[in-house]
Structure 1
Amino acid sequence: MPDTAHRPVRVLRIIARLNVGGPAIHVTLLTDGLRPPDFESTLVCGNIGPQEGDMAYLAEERGIQPVIIPELGRALSPLRDLVTLVKLWRLMRRQQPDIVHTHTAKAGFVGRVAAWLARVPVRVHTFHGHVLHGYFNPAKTRLFLALERLTARLSDRLITISPALADELATEYRVAPRDKFEVVPLGLELTPYAETPRHGGDFRARFNIPPEAKLVGSVGRIVPIKNHNLFLQMAQRVRDVFPNAHFVIVGDGESRAATEATVDALGLREAVTFTGFLRDLRSVYSDLDLLVISSDNEGTPTSVIQALAAGVPVVSTAVGGVPDLLRGGEYGRLAAPRNPAALAEAIIAALEDYHTDQAAIQAAMLAQYDAARLVNDMATLYRKLLAEKTETRQR
């Protein structure tokens, strides 16, 4: 085992790509926070795919220069994956990291195998969600599950961002025993959202949304798992009660064209605005009356945390780690997934009832999901795992 008492702990962090979403924010904040004198961090990623929003600017703003491995993409590809494996192994043999920490499914597979082959002392993987439900056909899902179970055996610890996700992976999917999982909640830079006044009007003015309209929004990628069709079916029902309600979809992705076609088919063109990807979301949350998650599967959506930190009420389908995040409905309303009537009912109730103490919820978000807390939690876990490995080797 390396002696890290007199030098920084070397961490190699691997993610498939820095596309728009919580994982890209997460790895950037950890790479930035775990710096000398206590740590040396290297971030490795692949390239952004077509129609994906790029969040590499977050790393650039912090002076982080990722190591790019072009073959490290999202999809399984035997030849490209073998090339990625070899390149990662060579990088690890050259850098001699004490810890390899992988994020997202594909990077988790090749990264942990490479780390095992390179005899990296500590191997860790974070599940920001999972792809074992709602993403692929049954045969491909079984393949991913087999790979998850295999690489779990190569891992010293598996991290999830919510207790429910750890329970699901251990109990329902049997990826690994529950005691191999550690829960480390997300951490984000939330103060800018909390300090932005509510109903500033800039976002509405920019996109010609009437100031008196009830504004309901979705923030994130436009991809099948987010189920924007459900969002639009809900919009139809909400408009029956609030005729002036307006709906905004902030983001982009592979399903945008199909989603726009659904808008036209449902006769909602005048009531729905697409903004594309936006870097600064403060004005968005400032003007939203309600944030909605309509997904079929989720980890812990950063948009929910950001919205609550900004004082925006939230309604979500009860999937993945969202019920944990919303405290079973204490911090926001939950609705059955894939049920337009149930989602619309919850949204109508939220728009009619603004008596919830958003200030208390806002304070809870700032306390529980702070970026500094995330960095400290991860540093503590890393040192614990290194100490355990040293103790095991000395027996």
Structure 2
Amino acid sequence: MTSIRAQNASGNPIQHKNKKVLRVITRLNIGGPSIQAVSLTSRLKAFGYNSLLVHGSRSPGEGDMGYLLAREGVEALKVPDLQRSVNPKRDFDAACQLYRVLCDFEPDILHTHTAKAGALGRLAAVLYNLTRGRRHPVRMVHTYHGHVFDGYFGKRSTAVFLGLERWLARWTDRIIAISPRIADEITKRYVIGRSDQVCSIRLGFDLAPFVGIDDNMCRAARERLAVPDNTLVVTTVGRLTEIKKHDLFLEMAQRVFSRRQDVLFFVVGDGELRVKLESMARALGLKAVVRFLGWRQDLSTIYAASHLFVLTSRNEGTPVALIEAMASGIPGISTDVGGVRDVITSPSVGSVVPFGDADALASEALSILTRNSTERRAMGMRARDVVSKRFTIERLVREIAHLYGELIDEE
């Protein structure tokens, strides 16, 4: 993998005045990619990078993080035909619109986030570099916030997407993976890109709202959410889609509830499987103890009321909700997928179990819930310490600025 060297003697990124970055993301739905795209667009101004953020349309039922634009002071351009689902006509129109944006903006760097934006954005950039941009080609960067090669599509569709990603990698200057495990999967398992193209850069966030949660906020949150006294709360957050495997969360909840009746389970998020999952909760006898809360912007309140966070996904990049929960002082349990081990770094902060094993999830959950409040609190504080040091927004911005500077210096 490449190293990031564009820095001065003090270790700070070299500033490149008046360089332009076109940042493209498929949509501003709830999740880490949206947070990263908006934060980087805003904060890289300090390093001399003037960015234009382009995003597409959310799918029906997806939560909206467009409110981040106003909060971060970011102006964005919407390309309505850019969307997650495959639609040949709209995809072609979106690629054409992205090509026109490239011609108008004339960026030094194109940085794409998420699969569809990465495909259409880089296709448009290849055409741009062969036509309008041939005298000053745009340098291409793509971030894998995970990948869609496991659990999303059938074998035939996955093979097509893999072929396209391998071809696009030939034209891409840098490929970023958000964890070492994702980098290894991309380069070794899926044979995308060359070792000199790929680098691993961990996610980074402003975790202050979560790190600041204290005992008083926890008491207020449980009162606001009507959590009875002496009741423990197990929480999960994410889109209610097949890849997140909330059915596994409910199976775990049934096993835990059969042993302890002083537990509530919060399911935060929405999606196409909500009705099915609500029906499953009723069939498992969990209607009274599982609360489907939908999308919430007050996640700090949710975490403040919780005692344990559980992630049951089949495929992940680096799970943002897990990072936020641990920053809130909550131990985490997760299936062993994607970049989870970059977050749950040791048994002292949480547990990692094989994917699909509801018994193991329940066993680990009961182990943590059975501890006294002092032990759980100490575990949560260790979790907070780990993620608040590893996933800072300041570190992320510096490393991306390093990478951009390296590309510019290669010209």
- Aligned-residue Cα RMSD (Å) equals 1.7
Per-residue deviation, 1:6: 7.3
Letter in 1 for 2:386: A
Match of 2:359 in 1: 341
Per-residue deviation, 1:320: 0.9
- Mapping of residues 1-395 of structure 1, within 5 Å: 7-35=17-45, 38-119=48-129, 120-198=137-215, 200-327=218-345, 329-353=347-371, 354=375, 357-388=379-410, 390=411
Q: Is the 8 A contact 2:21 2:109 kept in 1?
A: yes
CA distance in 1, matches of 2:361, 2:339: 18
Q: Is the 8 A contact 1:171 1:178 kept in 2?
A: no
Extract unaligned runs of 5+ from structure 1: 391-395
The alignment partner of 1:187 has SS state of coil
Over residues 86-117 of structure 1, what are the superposed CA-to-partner deviations in whole Å (9 max), with x where a residue is unaligned? 11111111111000000000100000111122
The alignment partner of 2:196 has SS state of helix
Per-residue deviation, 1:349: 1.2
The alignment partner of 2:95 has SS state of helix
CA distance in 2, matches of 1:337, 1:80: 36
Between the two proteins, the alignment pairs up a number of residues equal to 386
Q: Is the 8 A contact 1:22 1:302 kept in 2?
A: yes
Extract unaligned runs of 5+ from structure 2: 1-13, 130-136
Per-residue deviation, 1:357: 4.0
Match of 2:5 in 1: none
Letter in 1 for 2:204: G
Distance 1:275 1:145, change over 3 A: same
Per-residue deviation, 1:211: 2.7
CA distance in 2, matches of 1:37, 1:274: 43
Q: Is the 8 A contact 2:348 2:379 kept in 1?
A: no
Per-residue deviation, 1:203: 3.4
CA distance in 2, matches of 1:310, 1:135: 30
Instruction: State the TM-score, normalizing by the size of structure 2.
Output: 0.90
CA distance in 1, matches of 2:201, 2:255: 38
The alignment partner of 2:288 has SS state of helix
Letter in 1 for 2:388: L
